[in-house]
Amino acid sequence: MMNALNTAEAKSIGSRQGLIAVAIGLIIAQLIMTLLISTDEGLLKGFLWFTKFEYKLNILIGAVVMLICGYFFGQIGGVQIIIKRRNHVLVGFLCGLAVLLTTGFLAGWMGFFQEGTKNFGTYDNPFVDYLFKPLFWITIFGSIPSLLVGLWFGTQIKRKGKAINSSTTASA
């Protein structure tokens, strides 16, 4: 059977699903933080956890970087699943993990340049404090949600690719 979808259509499907997956991931991150903080401070303060920190700009930049990564890694996932017919579960998980790690790494640089550069020559290690530690904790707390959202992402791309393929082959 010939593949009716072209690369541009596969990228379009992938980027759309990537953005939806990132939105789901951000909701999951919000729920995790709400649960962690609400155990000590109540549900409302837990839900509004981000208002208590000085890192509002970092969180906003992290969310924007995550959306951009979701868009681009989504395109890659769309091509890999629809055009190259790679395993949607594996590609979904790898794209989800790539979004998570890339976002953690790139967003960490914001804190590094804001505050970490002031710590050179002290006992603090700004590379560890602003790049390694955040990436470590993001990976610890984000791996399982990334796996689950990545599975959903890969399955959605495969399903949407099949639906479009079957409708174009039926009309041909």
- The pLDDT tens digits of the residues spanning 54-100 come to 778 888 889 999 999 999 999 999 999 999 999 999 999 999 999 99
Q: Which of 30-34, 53-57, 118-122, 141-145 has the lowest mean pLDDT?
A: 118-122
95 with 153: CB under 8 angstroms?
A: yes
Q: Write the burial class of residue 55 (CB in 10 Å: 0-12 exposed, 13-18 middle, 19+ buried).
A: middle
pLDDT in tens, 3-32: 557 899 999 999 999 999 999 999 998 998
pLDDT of residue 41: 85
92 with 150: CB under 8 angstroms?
A: yes
Which three-class secondary structure state does DSSP give residue 122? coil
pLDDT of residue 1: 36
pLDDT of residue 120: 62
pLDDT of residue 100: 93
- The DSSP element (H or E) to which 43 belongs, if any, is helix 43-47
- The DSSP element (H or E) to which 67 belongs, if any, is helix 56-78
102 with 69: CB under 8 angstroms?
A: yes
Rounded mean pLDDT, 119-135? 77
pLDDT of residue 168: 66
pLDDT of residue 4: 58
- Indicate whether 170 pLDDT > 90: no
pLDDT of residue 163: 84
> Which tops the pLDDT comparison, 2 or 154?
154
pLDDT of residue 154: 96
Q: How far is CA 165 from the centre of its chain?
A: 27
- The two structure tokens encoding residue 127: 């590379």
Tallying the residues shown for the chain, one arrives at: 172
Q: Band of the pLDDT at 2, cuts 50, 70, 90? A: very low
> Any idea of the CA torsion for 133, 139, 140, 141, to the nearest 10 degrees?
110
